[in-house]
Amino acid sequence: MRKDIGMETLDYDVAIVGSGLAGLRTAIEVLRRDKGKLGLKVAVISKIYLMRSHSVSAEGGTSAVLYPEEGDSFELMAWDTIKGSDFLADQDAVWRFVHIATQEIRLIERWGVPWNRREDGRIEQRWFGGLSFPRATYAQDKTGFFEMRALYDTLLKYDNWDRFDENFVTSIVIENNEFKGFTAIDLKTGNFRYFRAKAGVIATGGAGQLYRITSMAVSSTGDGYGLAYNAGLPLKDMEFVQFHPTGLVPRGILITEAARGEGAYLINKDGERFMQKYAPSKMELAPRDIVSRAIMKEIMEGKGIYDEKSGLYHVWLDMRHLGKERIEQKLPFIREIGLKYLGIDIVDQPLPIRPTVHYNMGGIHVDIDGKVLDSTGTPVKGLWAAGEAACVSIQGSNRLGSNGTNECLVYGYIVGNDIYNYIEKERPALPSPSQNILTTEEDRIFGKLLGKESGGEDVYEIRDELKDTMEKYVHVYRTGSDLEKAVVKIRELKERYKNIRLTDKSRVFNYNLEHALELGNMLELAEIIARGALLRTESRGAHARLDYPNRDDTNWLKHTIALKGADGPLFSYIPVKITMWKPVARVY
């Protein structure tokens, strides 16, 4: 084991944090545009191995307009997205997004995605929640996985990039509104690293781990949000946390919306298809927030089924009428999950499901090109964000199913192009930050956190309490009093966090240290979410207040912006860009 503590400096043109769909797509786009012309060197930094990112768990599909001749159109997709977002989406961004999505689907088809096909060999599409045309392009029910496979494999084709697996990024170095690199810990050796780069991309995904029951991976702890927030950059719309209606009880493993797209029913204790009360025309295929609220309402009204093992209430997702052949062709992974984790075969038994945390609509405040904006709304020179980590905002207050993977692809493409144009045009030099920043950061991690001998708080205890707090008070339905309780609890946990002590003092693969750093970010995020939700006195999309049950377009048709203050987040608001459609009542 290496005892010496040294700082490595690694020079790259582009440093990408996060290796999910958005990160890989950005890397490919930069290298693809470049083709050795500028000889750009790209670093892909990930806290886990490449191909282990949570994008592999995306199941259902990827929306895109492929068949305008059959009645689909860009207007229709944009309308669906905007209506689904409860009119909080920036409509210029949506308009751009729907156009690029089509091209992305075809591009990754050529890179090897085994899309499900029609009999004549063309790409097949299916229904998804909130769509008015079956435009979710899919590869069985492992769409995200196959997309990741294709992107990862295609990236391997290029030479001019290096992978930094298991490098945990601890901070963004920003001086004078200019990006100067990332600092990271190499988990394998425990060394401190400084990635000096002309351009940086944050594509770290979401923060589902704030909750107990979540479909997100253990690695989705919102590090990107924390990095930006701690660097003094604003976060947008963080109070909108999407609950996927169908998470498997008790873990919250995702049962894809495609199950309902293929025709599955939601059934309560009395055997009733209760969605007809909530969305009579779309039924089970209403957008996710509506279905989640419907399920929670059923459970609150005592029409849920009690599961003795986990102590949770749930409803049934019934796929028995689909038939074995259709399930094997289109939903094999769902069947596998049911058999594997509950011993339930969906061919002849319904699955117990309840809402599970699935997606963060909010994220780092970026403009329509993916450039990260600072508190005054001017772009930070040389810093981009893409995918779930960024908030453009296309998803508004509620993401439509099948719009997540294509946001990653589209913004990977846009950001990659933008970076290439930036470097080609401006030819920036490698930045040189003051040494002070780096040594302070190194000391924060290794001196003040790893080397600390005082204090007795345990990382995992605080994390458990945080998860329970969020699960209890900041769930599908929120009330002012619950949110206040949550804020108080989170502030208490933040105080306790200052007192933590790590048991593992080694440098190599010190997961204890990684979890402590993650927890620091998670506590900040939890506070932003809870306080942002407390301030927003309306119900919009995924944010549903029992004490303010209606949408309030006069006061709240605006994005929340959270900035780090001396004592917790400071909130301000910016308007929504409405270019095409004025908000109307959202009925399905």
Partner 1 sequence: MGEDKKEKRYKTGLLRSLWPYNFNAERYSYTLHRITGVILALYLIAHVFEIYHFALGPVAWEQTIALLGSLGIWEKIGLWIIAGSALYHGANGLRLILNEVFGMLLGKPVLPEYPYTPTSLSRNQKIAIYVILAIVIALWIWAGLYLLEGLGII
Partner 2 sequence: MKVRIRRYDGQKEWWQDYEVDVKSSDTVLDVLNKIREKQDHTLAFRLSCQMGSCGSCGMVINGLPALACQTRISELKTDSIRIEPLYNYKVIKDLVVDLNEFVNKHRSVKPWIIRKNPEELEEAPIEFKVTPEQNLTFVQFDYCIMCGICLAACPTVAIDPLFLGPQALGQAYRYIADPRDEGFEERIDILDDSHGVWRCHFAGACSYVCPKGVDPAKAIQFLKKEILKYRLLHKKKAATKPAELVEKAPPPNAPKPPPFDFKFEGGV
Query: Which residues, numbered 384-443, are part of the site for partner 2 (CB under 8 A)?
Result: none
Site for partner 2 contains 353 (CB under 8 A): no
Which of 76, 231, 449, 535 binds partner 2 (CB under 8 A)? It is 76
CB of 472 to partner 2, least distance (A): 20
Query: Is residue 254 a contact residue for partner 2 (CB under 8 A)?
Result: yes
The site partner of 491 among partner 1, partner 2, none (C-beta below 5 to 8 Å per kind) is none
Q: Which residue has the tokens 């890397």?
A: 27
Instruction: Output 139 or 576, the one with its CB closest to partner 1.
Output: 139
Q: Does 32 bind partner 2 (CB under 8 A)?
A: yes
Pick the catalytic residue from 260, 358, 536, 559: 260
Only one of the segments 74-82, 251-259, 330-338, 579-587 lies at the binding site for partner 1 (rule: CB under 8 A); that segment is 330-338
Which of the residues 96, 193, 212, 244 is marked catalytic?
244
Tokens of 499: 């007192």
> Is 193 one of the annotated active-site residues of the chain?
no
Q: Which is nearer to partner 2, 85 or 219 (CB)?
A: 219
The yes-or-no answer on residue 244 being catalytic is yes
Which residues fall within 8 angstroms of residue 481, CB to CB, at 6 or more apart?
none
DSSP letters for 437-490: HHHHHHIIIIIIIIS-----B-HHHHHHHHHHHHHHHSSSEE-HHHHHHHHHHH
Extract the tokens encoding 208: 């589902």
By CB under 8 A, the count of residues binding partner 2 is 84
SS3 state at 192: strand
Pick the closer one to partner 2 by CB: 83 or 193: 83
Among partner 2, partner 1, none, partner that 217 touches (CB below 5 to 8 angstroms by kind): partner 2
Per CB under 8 A, which of residues 454..493 are in contact with partner 2?
A: 459-460, 464
**Residue 110 region, left (φ>0) first, then alpha (ψ -120 to 50), else beta?**
alpha
307 is an interface residue for partner 2 by CB under 8 A:
no
Q: How many CA atoms lie within 13 A of 388 on its CB side?
A: 29
Q: Of 214-222, 351-359, 422-430, 532-540, which segment contacts partner 2 by CB under 8 A?
A: 214-222
**Can you tell me whether residue 333 is helix, strand or coil?**
helix
Instruction: Give the residue from 409, 414, 411, 415 showing the smallest Cα distance to 147.
Output: 409
* Residue 282 DSSP label: T
Q: How far apart are CA 434 and CA 438, in angstroms?
A: 8
Does residue 367 interact with partner 2 by CB under 8 A?
no
Q: Is 505 helix (H, G, I), strand (E, B) or coil?
A: coil
Of the candidates 2, 340, 472, 505, which one interacts with partner 1 according to CB under 8 A?
340
Q: Is 503 in the site for partner 2 (CB under 8 A)?
A: yes
For partner 1, the binding residues in 125-144 under the rule CB under 8 A are 140
With respect to partner 2, which residue has the nearer C-beta, 40 or 235? Answer: 40
Q: Please write down the long-range contacts of 175-180, taking CB distance under 8 Å and 24 or more positions apart.
A: 175/433, 175/434, 175/437, 177/374, 177/378, 177/380, 177/381, 178/380, 178/381, 178/382, 178/431, 179/380, 179/381, 179/382, 179/383, 179/431, 180/382, 180/431, 180/432, 180/433
**Contacting residues toward partner 1, per CB under 8 A:** 140, 328-329, 332, 335-336, 339-340
Which residues participate in catalysis according to the annotation?
A: 244, 260
